[in-house]
Each structure stands twice: as structure tokens, then as C-alpha cells.
Chains A and B, each alone.
Chain A
Amino acid sequence: MEQALLYIAGSLMMGLGALGAAVGIGILGGRFLEGAARQPELIPMLRIQFFIVMGLVDAVPMIAVGIALYVLFAVAA
């Protein structure tokens, strides 16, 4: 029972983290493309800001994946 709960916890961590980041990065990339199409001369500046925000958004699911894999392979195994 406890084992099964750990597996469910790990998969929830990975899945929900990825879900949030997918929506976030989708919106972010869409707006980046919109901005780039409207003002192509701003692309270098926009790209830097895009990567900063992408790093911020990307951090949470990456951490979730790491902790989930730790739970799945080191705690549950």
C-alpha cells in the first residue's frame, strides 16, 4: 500500500509539474513570437528576457522531476 502511494506520488509530481510548465512556456513562447513579429528589431533583447523567464518557469518542473525520480528509485525501490 505504502509502496503504491509512493509511485502515485512520484507520477503526480512529474505529471502536474510538466502540465503547468507546458502551459506557461506555451504562453511565453507565443507572446515572444508575437512580439518578435511586431517589432523584429527588438529580437535580441526579447530573446534574453525570454530565456530568463523560461529559466524561472522551467525550474519548478525540473525540480519536480528530480525529486520524483528520487522518490521512485531511491525511496520506493
Chain B
Amino acid sequence: MAAEGITSTEYIKHHLTNLTFGKHPDGTWGFAHNVDEIREMGFWGIQVDSIGWSVVLGLVFFYFFSKAARQATAGVPGGLQNFVEWIVEFIDTSVRGSFTSRNDLVAPMALTIFCWVFLMNLMDLIPVDWLPMLAQQIGHHAFGMDPRHVYFKVVPTADPNITFGMAIAVFLLMLYYSVKIKGPAGFMAELAFQPFGKYGLPVNLILEGVSLLAKPLSLSLRLFGNMYAGETIFILIALMYSAGIGMGVFGGILQIGWAIFHILIITLQAFIFMTLTIVYMDMAHQEHH
């Protein structure tokens, strides 16, 4: 448990709140101490934990892959090189399978998205209390903060800001390549003259506009929802530890079972995010007939 003598509701909410750094209403900058302060910070409240972990995991990915690339030999490959080659080959097959045009950007982007999202999802498998409690100890002893006010949410993809950021980046690339390949007129024509021809123009605009905007929305909400739900279930099972030894052992077994099932979900969601990105990029490159 996060601290002695708190209710289960407080425990759940504590675990689902981000460590936020931002501008207080009185003009000073600092960490938020409770949910109301986070709400008052509004747009300029920065989720330090999500951004920190996503950057750290991105660097981990860069470090291992660039190390493998620098040490690559044509002779007998080591374990790391084998592993990296296996992933790159897997991504290459997926991109060749669903991307039909020519663009050198798509495969590296797919590789980055897959590995990054997978690593961020992987944080979900670390037992829910370890890192938040570590952060509490550090915050309490190094910065003299009240342990109850140190919020820490470990999984970056369970934060809608991160998933929406990634989906909006994909969306902007989609718009850029649509306009670049088909020209502004071609892109507008696709929005205006499909599927009912030129006499159904207003209906076409509404239909195509909605389906265009639904792409980044569903892309980000799917990843966020899955990770948020998984995280919530881990936290709820962790609540059983406080209900006596029998329930605690049962909770431990449930935790392991859910973690094993979750391995499938986190890989699948990373793979789906990547595949849908490739498919959307392919749609942006395709002229309608």
C-alpha cells in the first residue's frame, strides 16, 4: 500500500495520478500536491513521469539498436545483433506486406513506433507499487515532500497525452503525404467527391471528414484504453494484498496470471499501432480510382 491508513479509493486514485510540474495560480512553478492543483495548472502542467519515462525508454531503444548497428559483422553475429536483425526483418516483412508505394520513411518509422510503444507498454509489467514507492521515498527523503503528495504513474502509454501525441504526429504525416502525393486539389477532391459523386458534396465532406478525424482518435484511444484498463486491473488486484494473508496469496496468483495475459496484449497493441500507421500511410499514398 502507498501509505498506512488510506482507503482503497484513495489508493486507486493516487496510482492513477501523474506527477505534474507546472505553474501554480500564484505564479510560482513547482510540483502539484493534489488533483485540484493539477486541474488549475491546465495546459501548462507537464506530466514529468510520462515524459521522463518515454524519453528514457526511447534512449534505451536508440542505445541498443545503434550499438547493434555499430558492432554489426558479416561473420558470426552475436546475440544482440541476431535479436535486432530479427526485429528489423519482422518490421520489414510487415511493411512490405501492407505498404505498396515507395517511401523510405515508413519502415524506420514503423520500427520506432513498434519498439517504443512496446517498451512503454512493458512498464506495465513492473509490479504496480515498486516504482511509485521508490519515487515516494526519494521525494520524501531528498526533497522533503509529504509522501502522500508524491504521485507517480509509471506507464507512459496509460497517459492520453502520450498516445494522442503519437497519433497526432502520425496524422500530420498522413496529411503531409496526402497533399504531397495527390496535390492539394487531389486531396480536397478525395474529401469532397467520394463516395457519392459531385452532387452529394456536403454529405461526402461530412462522411470523409469524420472518417479522417476518427483515425488518429481511435488510434490513440485504443492504445490508451488498453493500457489504462490493464493498469487499473493491476492496481485493483494489488488492493487484495491488504485483505489478509489468504487473499494476499490469491492476489499474487491473480497478478501473475493477469501479467502473463498482459504480455499478449502489450505486444498486440504495439503491433496494431504500427500496422495501422503503415495502413494509414499507405492510404495517404494511394490515388483513388
**Residues of A at under 8 Å CB distance from B?**
51-52, 54-56, 58-59, 62-63, 65-67, 69-70, 73-74, 77
Contacts and interface: CB of A to CB of B under 8 A. Distances in A.
Q: Give chain B's interface residue range (CB within 8 Å of chain A).
A: 20 to 34
Report, nearest first, the 10 A-B pairs whose CB atoms are least far apart.
Answer: A66-B229, A63-B225, A74-B12, A55-B268, A55-B272, A66-B232, A59-B222, A62-B229, A77-B9, A70-B232
A55 B275 CA distance: 11
A51 B268 contact: yes
Contacts of A66: 225-226, 228-233
Contacts of B229: 62-63, 65-67, 69
Interface residues of chain A: helix, strand, loop or mixed (majority): helix
B242 interface: no
Nearest to B273: A55
Interface of B: 7-9, 12-13, 16, 221-222, 225-226, 228-233, 236, 239, 265, 268-269, 271-272, 275
Contacts of A58: 265, 268
B50 to A, nearest CB: 18
Given A51-B268, A62-B265, A69 B232 contact: yes
Given A62-B265, A73-B239, 12 more contacts: A52-B271, A54-B268, A56-B222, A58-B268, A59-B226, A66-B225, A66-B230, A66-B231, A69-B229, A73-B9, A73-B12, A74-B13
A1 B7 CA distance: 22
